[in-house]
A and B are shown apart, each in its own frame.
Chain A
Amino acid sequence: MSVPLSLRCLLVCVALFGGSAHALTPQQARALVVGEAEPRIAALNAVLAAADEKTVALIQAMSDDAVKFTDSAVFVMKDGKGFDPVSGAEVAVPDTAEDVINNNQMRGELDTALASIKLFSPDNTVRAEAVKTLASEPDENKLPMVEKAWAAEQVPAIKDALGAVRFAILLGSADKAKRLEAATALGATGTPATKTLLLDRQKVETEADVKAAIGVALKTIEGRLAWGERLGVIFTGVSLGSILLLVALGLAITYGLMGVINMAHGELMMIGAYATYVIQNVFRAYFPGLFDYYVLLAIPASFLAAALVGAVLERSVIRWLYGRPLETLLATWGISLVLQQAVRSLFGAQNVPVENPAWLSGGVAAMSNLTLPYNRIAIIVFAVLVLVGVSLLIARTRLGLFVRGVTQNRKMAACMGVNTARIDTYAFALGSGIAGLAGCALSQVGNVGPDLGQSYIVDSFMVVVLGGVGQLAGTVYAAVGLGVLNKLLEGWQGAVLAKIMVLVFIVIFIQKRPQGIFALKGRSAEA
């Protein structure tokens, strides 16, 4: 007969468990299967301490709901045939045989029983999984198995985890000294689950010194958890800051360098996000095997798409409005309406799904209550790269020099032979392209829809207003600062009030320093 994989593993475990296994008796088999949950669980625990491979097979079969019984016999079902649990021989199953019903409690007990057996598996992953299962339900009956496994364990991480389980079980022990030891030890290793355990114990504990020890342990754990939360808030703040930076960087170029207030900036981001969506679909349809790499193509694609649209806008609309910032504001608002409606007509008014590729899904668990998602880490790195790239472009390349020259003194630059019209287009396209990159980044962490731009437009303008005009450094500080400030306030008062407080803060800050954090000093710092 073909033995399923899981069963084979279990049997191996049992083999390693050692030779103190006792053979399964028919009475034991019956006790496991028939009757109320309580006595069955007691029988299960009794038999577990010295389980042989037949017992294990029975337990596994019970877990799989493949056991039937009559008044006189128990049958393990496999492929429609019945087998005797004790001997393993095939036996005919009468029609009157009933299925063994396991309620939730029973099922839970079966799972933990199997897990405790798996503690002896040669496979590290299986053992780790088993420890996790046991940790969620510390059960005194499993203690001997746990202690045996703990003594035998070689891998440090799993040993520590087993130790924690052991202490969790010991916390409920009758022996006061053991409880004290457990309380102190748990304080050092605690997780949020341990905290609950300790709190529960604290309620029923009678011995004063154990209670005190539990109190100390709780404090230590809470301190560590608080740190986890604080770091979590800071990380989310930096993540938001990196997104704001990407969004505001393009705006800082078009406004800071060129004096063009672009209300369609959000829509250029949206174009970048939709470009990512299109690339994703292309990969899914034509290169499904390479799907995970679609992001790498989406980055240049979104840059180019947005830059192209930006160039077209600059040539057709914005160049007629240089020197008239208020009119530019209104005209670009009109453009944003047109772009939004165009996207709605092409892709529909609903959000479109953009999936993270596999290497961006999930996260690294830095602490027990702090998981840092990979996609957010990637965006932080991406934002830094883009920032470095843009600063180098502006400061070190010829194009950057021309852009700076044209924006500072157009007439002189023209006299020097610089084609100012073309430089304007390039600069605007650059700012728009960066917006496209921001859209690509946003598609990985948020929803993509026609109003993607609207949610970020006010924030990005706040970053530009706060950071000051003329230097990229101000934009960086303002973006990260606002991101962190927003998240800190959010934790305190909730998202809406946090946003309002940030806006009020900016208005007040502008009172004291109208030119922003960093600004070109001297005579002309006015819009």
Chain B
Amino acid sequence: MTPDLMKAGAQARVEHDRKLAASPVQSGGRETSYSRVHVPGALDVTHGAILYLDDITVSFDGFKALNALSLSISAGELRCIIGPNGAGKTTMMDVITGKTRPDLGKAFFGSTIDLLRMRENEIASIGIGRKFQKPTVFEQLSVFENLELALKADRGVRSSMFFRLNGEQLDRIGAMLTLIHLKDSAQRVAGLLSHGQKQWLEIGMLLMQDPKLLLLDEPVAGMTDEETERTAELFLSLEGNHSLVVVEHDMKFIGELTQNGKNGKKVTVLHEGSVLAEGLLSEVQANEKVVEVYLGR
């Protein structure tokens, strides 16, 4: 054993571990038990699920917003969630991101991180990003400043006071500006953007945080057809490295995302606080219960 052989062996081990942690593996496979370094507090998706909701119940003054909702999103998946108004879609997101405490149930990020014990900013820091129904950007700051705030960096007070952008961070912001087609409006005050531009800015801010799970609540509301198409392309490119949950009403957009059922993306239908049906878009659209709920009988 020479020093360089030892070094090479150690490097190989590190490489191996890194590959293992990054790849979505089958539950119960050999890699899940052997030679895996488990870091407490870190996201653990070796069992496949990145988000796990079990029996979540939320009531407001007697009204059950969520009723024993159970849902599981696999790592790297793009899931679409549809449902009539009042089905509980936004409340479900509130529970995941820590805005609302459920009365019953469990919510886990990966296998180990209990979301119900954490505050909103902590949940945001560990890699869950949420885009709201109404675009909420920082209206008085410029587009550039909005993205700068969302940049993945130390969130503490001291570091913010003395913070200066380095070259790499500058490049990241630049690239994001290009991505969201706001390169020319970088210095514009965000309040003056159009509705669709604000939506894109918010998506951009979300991506700046490099989240592992994106929760997107009606991301294309108010966008033109062309913008909707671009958004669909963006989301499809993200999946694999990121997991996405998209809540939408726009069936055309859902169709684009799921490529009309061809790419095996699942669609979940929520109704009155629990899951009504789950499956490919075509299956769900043919499901009688779903038709009844949407069209009424």
Contact = CB atoms under 8 A, between A and B. Distances in A.
Interface residues of A, number: 3
A523 interface: yes
B-side interface size class: under 10
Contacts of B60: 521-523
Contacts of A523: 60
Interface string B204-241: 00000000000000000000000000000000000000
A509 to B, nearest CB: 21
Interface string A505-527: 00000000000000001110000
B184 interface: no
B168 interface: no
A193 to B, nearest CB: 59
A522 B61 CA distance: 7
Interface string B102-144: 0000000000000000000000000000000000000000000
B63 to A, nearest CB: 9
B98 to A, nearest CB: 15
Contacts of A522: 60-61
Task: Please report whether the interface of chain A is mostly helix, strand, loop or mixed according to DSSP.
Answer: loop
Contacts of A521: 60-61
A436 B60 CA distance: 38
Nearest to A523: B60
Contacts, number: 5
B55 to A, nearest CB: 23
B92 to A, nearest CB: 15
A196 B231 CA distance: 91
Contacts of B61: 521-522
A521 B60 CA distance: 7
Interface in B45-68: 60-61
A523 B90 CA distance: 12
A523 B60 CA distance: 8
A521 B59 CA distance: 11
Interface in B33-84: 60-61
A523 B58 CA distance: 12
Nearest to B94: A523
A522 B60 CA distance: 6
Nearest to A521: B61
Interface string A190-208: 0000000000000000000
A522 to B, nearest CB: 5
Nearest to B99: A523
A521 B58 CA distance: 13
Interface string A473-488: 0000000000000000
A465 to B, nearest CB: 22
Nearest to B91: A523
Nearest to B60: A522
B287 to A, nearest CB: 31
B90 to A, nearest CB: 10
A451 B60 CA distance: 44
Nearest to B100: A523
A522 B65 CA distance: 11
A320 to B, nearest CB: 23
A474 to B, nearest CB: 16
A122 to B, nearest CB: 72
A495 B138 CA distance: 47
A521 B61 CA distance: 7
Nearest to A520: B61
A422 B60 CA distance: 34
A521 B62 CA distance: 10
B110 to A, nearest CB: 29
A513 to B, nearest CB: 15
B108 to A, nearest CB: 25
Interface in B151-198: none
A518 to B, nearest CB: 13
A382 B61 CA distance: 34
A523 B91 CA distance: 10
A468 to B, nearest CB: 14
B27 to A, nearest CB: 38
A210 to B, nearest CB: 68
A522 B62 CA distance: 10
A521 B63 CA distance: 11
A522 B59 CA distance: 9
B175 to A, nearest CB: 37
A523 B61 CA distance: 11
B177 to A, nearest CB: 34
A522 B63 CA distance: 10
Interface in A333-375: none
A215 B4 CA distance: 99
B255 to A, nearest CB: 32
A473 to B, nearest CB: 16
Interface in A436-489: none
A62 B60 CA distance: 85
A502 B70 CA distance: 47
A408 to B, nearest CB: 15
A521 to B, nearest CB: 5
Nearest to B62: A521
B99 to A, nearest CB: 10
B26 to A, nearest CB: 41
B160 to A, nearest CB: 26
A322 B37 CA distance: 58
Nearest to B90: A523
Nearest to A522: B60
B88 to A, nearest CB: 13
A522 B58 CA distance: 11
Interface string A297-317: 000000000000000000000
Nearest to B61: A521
A177 B61 CA distance: 72
A495 B94 CA distance: 46
Interface in B258-294: none
A357 to B, nearest CB: 48
A429 to B, nearest CB: 32
5 contacts: A521-B60, A521-B61, A522-B60, A522-B61, A523-B60
The 5 A-B pairs at the shortest CB distance, nearest first, are namely A521-B61, A522-B60, A522-B61, A521-B60, A523-B60
